[in-house]
Homo-oligomer: A and B are copies of this chain.
Amino acid sequence: MKLNYKVIHTEKQTKARLGKIIFTDKDGTTQTYETPMFMPVGTQATVKTLSPEQVKATHPGIILANTYHLWLRPTPEVIKEAGGLHEFMNWHGPILTDSGGYQVFSLAKNKKKDITEEGVHFKSEIDGRPLFLTPEKSIQIQNMLDSDIAMSFDECPPATADYAYLKNSIERTLRWAERGKKVHNNPQQNLFGIVQGGPYEDLRKFSAIKTVEMDFDGYAIGGVANDDESKDDMYKAVEFSTPYLPNDKVRYLMGVGEPVDLLESVIRGVDIFDCVSPTRLARHGNALVTGVRSTSQGPKENRLNLKNARFKHDFTPIGTTCDCYTCQNYTRAYLHHLMRCGEAFGATLLSIHNIRFLIHFCEQMREAIREDRLLEFRDEFLKN
């Protein structure tokens, strides 16, 4: 499905955009989704522990799948034979596939890998066999998966990378983007470019301008770390990139899922996000909430761990104002019981809640942008 992005309204006080992504299918039918948007992640062609219907009930727009994982299993050949990823996984909304780059650089971080101009040599996590991923290969795999949005294969530098390393890296990423674009061969699939450059203003500017010159269907901001210590760098990376991205193309901050980071990035002009955190937190018994403080009134707590004994007799829902299936039908006491027993349905229920929480948070941001009160929304959010 070909993608168009339109800004409906730019917030008066910030760079935040209320927008819509319109997908047009071969037969002319369209699907429209508003931004800011949070995209749930279905790494291995399944949003962990959820049926497509359960995912759909959280009102998502696009969902993600991971090229690296699907390349190894079940292989792009199997998915192509199945009629593409949508058919294979029974998901008929839009799908974005990443390039596999992040996994090659991060999952294999303690293993020997060899980064050359041509691509990256590394070993399969599953069976140890040698693998070689190149910009061309990444795009060819994504073409076969037949996702709606493919990502360019970029180098994801380590968090410790210095200015000199990053400078070389963004130049290589530009050459890789060019190579990927050249072999891209799926007219129904949109291709996004990725801006790198760490927290450096000149590198981000250079990377953004050069990437935009290549004319992609959308632009991502990559290379932001997701730990508490790097939040300033994350916001800088966004702030230094968005001024050079075209107004009529969607902007995607990759791998970010904390509400405060969504908010700060939307303020700086980002439209869409993805993160594995809602489902990962769920599997460990954590529910996303707002406005909860510990009894000591210490630092704000934005998660509840349902395994905690204090929930054993708590017959309230996770969130009293939450409209998700979990909060409409189940108590904290039941979730506590399921998580204590290791029952899979506990992870399912918490995943539904956490995904819906982030999607609802985006809906709230959209309202605030529409009404030009995003800074007030931030004040309110930080106070709770």
Contact = CB atoms under 8 A, between A and B. Distances in A.
Interface of A: 44-46, 48-51, 54, 69, 73-74, 78, 81-82, 88-90, 312-313, 315, 329-331, 333-334, 336-338, 340-341, 343-345, 347-348
B348 A74 contact: no
6 contacts: A45-B338, A46-B343, A49-B345, A73-B337, A74-B340, A88-B337
B90 A343 contact: no
Nearest to A283: B344
Contact of A331 (B82, B313, B329, B340): B82
A227 B336 CA distance: 35
A103 to B, nearest CB: 14
Given A51-B348, A330-B90, A333-B78, A46 B315 contact: no
Contacts of A330: 90
Given A312-B74, A347-B344, A89 B334 contact: yes
Question: In the complex, which of the residues A89, A333, A337 has the most CB atoms of chain B within 10 Å of its own CB atom?
Answer: A337
A293 B343 CA distance: 35
Given A78-B313, A90-B329, A90-B330, A73 B340 contact: yes
Contacts of A343: 44, 46, 48
Contacts of A329: 90
Contact of A51 (B44, B336, B345): B345
Contacts of A46: 338, 343, 345
Contacts of A74: 312, 333, 336-337, 340
Contacts of A347: 344
Question: In the complex, which of the residues A69, A331, A336 has the most CB atoms of chain B within 10 Å of its own CB atom?
Answer: A331
A250 B198 CA distance: 71
